[in-house]
Amino acid sequence: MNRRILLMVPFAGVLVAGAGFLAMLEREQEGTFDPRAVPSQIINKPVPPFDLPGSPGFSSTDLRGRPIVVNFFASWCIPCVEEAPVLMALKAQGVPIYGIAYKDKPDATAAFLARNGDPYERLARDEPGRVAIDWGVYGVPETYLIDPQGIVRWRHVGPLTQDAVTAGLQPLLRRYA
């Protein structure tokens, strides 16, 4: 009897995996499956408290009063170079963008911004990476939208693309303006 149960365990595992795969395929056909999606515990919650140095630096209390885009980036990050034109286009449209240089040195950050453009209204440094941990940053770049009350409303993992701006960010900017 025990032997039969042991033989059924792998079969049950295959059934569960198959059901998960079929559910993924169904969501993909519906257009609701995003293989790059990384869940976030911070969405619809207040920005975690922080106070970072920089030029001029900023704190969590500065993220109130209007919708603000917060972008975690680093000079050593190749995808951050990819997203630079998208961030510059948002700046040209008047979108306030605050940058947080993640685990980066001030000179390296300055050189990166000189090469790729500086879209940031305010810039802060998170050299130890503690603020990024509090935000649940998976890796740079990551971009967030903060509403006027200081609540995180949107998160994009990876380089920001025009498609992500059009489909995700712009509708929320209009909603919270």
In the structure encoding, which two tokens stand for residue 18, read together? Answer: 């198959």
Could you give the CA distance from residue 113 to residue 105 in angstroms, rounded to a whole number? 12
Q: C-alpha 117: how far from its chain's center? A: 20
* pLDDT higher than 80, residue 165: yes
* pLDDT higher than 70, residue 57: yes
| Backbone dihedral angles phi then psi of residue 7, each to the nearest 5 degrees | -70, -25
Cβ pair 176, 147 in contact under 8 A: yes
Mean pLDDT for the chain overall: 90
Residue labelled with tokens 């929320």: 172
Q: Which distant-in-sequence residues (6+ apart) come within 8 Å of 139 by Cβ?
A: 157
Give the residue-averaged pLDDT of 83-102: 98
Q: What H or E segment, with its residue span, contains residue 159?
A: none
Q: Which distant-in-sequence residues (6+ apart) come within 8 Å of 155 by Cβ?
A: 40, 42, 43, 142, 143, 144, 145
Residue labelled with tokens 């609701």: 32
Per-residue confidence band for 11, with pLDDT thresholds at 50, 70 and 90:
confident
DSSP result, 16-85: HHHHHHHHHHHHHHHT---TT----S-TTSBPPP-EE-BSS-EEGGGS-SS-EEEEEE-TT-HHHHHHHH
Kindly report the pTM of this predicted structure.
0.81
Could you give the CA distance from residue 62 to residue 64 in angstroms, rounded to a whole number? 6
Q: Summarize pLDDT for 12-49 with one digit per residue, the tens.
A: 677 777 776 777 667 666 655 565 566 678 999 999 99
Give the residue-averaged pLDDT of 102-116: 97
